[in-house]
């Protein structure tokens, strides 16, 4: 609409006609602020859960430079890439999560339906049971005897974990990112987001020091955040960004350093960050495919072994009983 030359207030009024919920609240706030002579970014600042610091500062810079329509198009493309990236991660996690739920469902069915009937037979025949079978029967009796308290406990536990995650999100993420396979993937994701955010900020005309300060907020891993802060200190002292990256070679890959150096020499650092982001996005996609390909057979074998072990714990005493009867 801006590119078509429509005034901003008319655009907001037009969007309000088909908006609802939180979107309508944002547009109503924007309309009131615009009528008072305020900028768009000042309206967006009031909704930090919808608009992060990077987006707000990009729009602020574009309003000052008079390039709002161009920058909004960049923001749109950024949101589109984020959604595509989230879809990739979600698709990679969907299969393992499905396998886990199926395993839990089979486990509960065996413990609630199968084991109690088998346990009754074993009790009547007074058969000596192996330890795995005794454990399964004990677990089955516990679930069937304390079903309601167990459900209440699980619900409270899930609510407690969700609350703790909300209050102490960084601790949970630190534990998750410390896992061997997840650590490298999380690093690549953070570097992808950092380089793309830096490109957007620099392309909007924001000074590199401010751009680095804002880009810190988009990463999750502490070591990546510390490395960016160190690079910020190096740049603030008058050195190049590539020099800051070189001081943390264990965090920033060599190709990222080389592309940054090339961009600084040609005066096109923002383009270098865009190229870096595209390369790292490809690396993330490749790593996700590899992890998924490795995880699927491992999970299938693991679930098969666990369910097979449970069935063996049920069948073994039956075979022993049959053998005893045959000997008699």
Give one word for 205, left, alpha or beta, with left for phi > 0 and alpha for psi -120 to 50.
left
Cβ count near 225 (within 10 Å) = 18
Give all domains of the chain, ordered by start, each with its CATH number: 8-51 (no CATH), 181-288 (1.20.81.30)
CA 114 to chain centre: 38
More confident site: 272 or 173: 272
Mean predicted confidence (pLDDT) in 236-250: 88
Structure-token pair, residue 252: 């920033």
Of the pLDDT bands very low, low, confident and very high (cuts 50, 70, 90), residue 318 is confident
Could you identify the residue written with the tokens 């960050």? 273
Say what the pLDDT of residue 60 is.
85
* pLDDT tops 80 at residue 85: no
| Three-class HEC string of the chain | CCCCCCCHHHHHHHHHHCCCHHHHHHHHHHHHHHHCCCCHHHHHCCCCCCCCHHHHHHHHHHHHHCCHHHHHHHHHHHHHHHHHHHHHHHHHHHHHHHHHHHHHHHHHHHHHHHHHHHHHHHHHHCCCCCHHHHHHHHHHHHHHHCHHHHHHHHHHHHHHHHHHHHHCHHHHHHHHHCCHHHHHHHHHHHHHHHHHHHHHHHHCCCCHHHHHHHHHHHCCCHHHHHHHHHHHHHHHCCCCHHHHHHCCCCCCCHHHHHHHHHHHHHCCHHHHHHHHHHHHHHHHHHHHHHHHHHHHHHHHHHHHHHHHHHHHHHHHHHHHHHHHHHHC
Q: Is the pLDDT of residue 106 over 70?
A: yes
Q: What pLDDT is recorded for position 282? A: 85
pLDDT the model gives residue 156: 92
Tokens of 59: 């729009």
Q: Given pLDDT bands bounded at 50, 70 and 90, which one contains residue 327?
A: low
Average pLDDT of the segment spanning 131-145: 83
Q: What share of the chain in percent tops pLDDT 90?
A: 3
- Does residue 301 register a pLDDT over 80? yes
User: Which pLDDT belongs to residue 249?
Assistant: 86
Taking all residues of the chain, what is their mean pLDDT, rounded to a whole number? 83
- Alpha-carbon distance 183 to 8, whole Å? 44
pLDDT at 305: 85
Token digits of residue 130: 């192996």
Q: What is the pLDDT of residue 222?
A: 83
Please give the average per-residue pLDDT across 169-198, as a whole number: 78
Angstrom distance (rounded) from CA 103 to CA 243: 51
CA 219 – CA 188 distance, rounded (Å): 10
How far is residue 172's CA from residue 286's CA, in Å, rounded to a whole number? 25
Contact 58, 71 (CB under 8 A): yes
Model confidence pTM above 0.85? no
Average pLDDT over residues 236-258: 88
Which tops the pLDDT comparison, 35 or 127? 35
pLDDT confidence tier of residue 83, bands split at 50, 70 and 90 = confident
Give CA angle at 23 (21, 28), nearest 5°.
100
């Amino acid at each position: 609409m801006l590119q078509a030359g429509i005034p901003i207030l008319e655009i907001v009024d037009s969007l309000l006609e088909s908006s609802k919920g939180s979107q309508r609240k944002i547009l109503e706030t924007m309309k009131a602020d615009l009528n008072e002579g305020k900028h768009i970014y000042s309206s967006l600042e009031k909704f930090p859960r919808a608009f992060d610091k990077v987006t707000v500062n990009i729009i602020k810079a574009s309003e000052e430079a008079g390039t709002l329509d161009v920058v909004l198009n960049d923001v749109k493309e950024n949101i589109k890439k984020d959604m595509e990236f989230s879809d990739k991660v979600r698709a990679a996690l969907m299969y393992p999560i499905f396998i886990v739920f199926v395993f839990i469902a089979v486990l509960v069915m065996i413990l609630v339906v199968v084991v109690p009937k088998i346990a009754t037979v074993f009790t009547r025949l007074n058969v000596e049971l192996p330890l795995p079978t005794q454990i399964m029967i004990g677990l089955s009796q516990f679930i069937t005897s304390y079903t309601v308290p167990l459900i209440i406990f699980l619900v409270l536990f899930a609510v407690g974990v969700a609350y703790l995650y909300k209050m102490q999100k960084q601790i949970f993420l630190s534990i998750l990112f410390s896992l061997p396979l997840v650590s490298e993937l999380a690093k690549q994701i953070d570097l992808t987001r950092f380089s793309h955010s830096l490109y957007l900020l620099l392309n909007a005309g924001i000074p590199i020091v401010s751009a680095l300060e804002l880009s810190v907020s988009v990463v999750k891993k502490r070591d990546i955040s510390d490395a960016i802060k160190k690079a910020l200190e190096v740049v603030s002292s008058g050195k190049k960004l590539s020099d800051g990256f070189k001081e943390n070679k264990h965090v920033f890959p060599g190709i990222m350093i080389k592309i940054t150096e090339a961009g600084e020499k040609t005066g096109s650092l923002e383009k270098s960050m865009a190229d870096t982001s595209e390369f790292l996005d490809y690396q993330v996609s490749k790593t996700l495919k590899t992890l998924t390909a490795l995880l699927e057979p491992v999970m299938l074998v693991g679930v098969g072994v666990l369910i097979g072990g449970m069935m063996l714990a049920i069948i073994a005493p039956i075979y022993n009983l049959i053998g005893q009867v045959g000997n008699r």
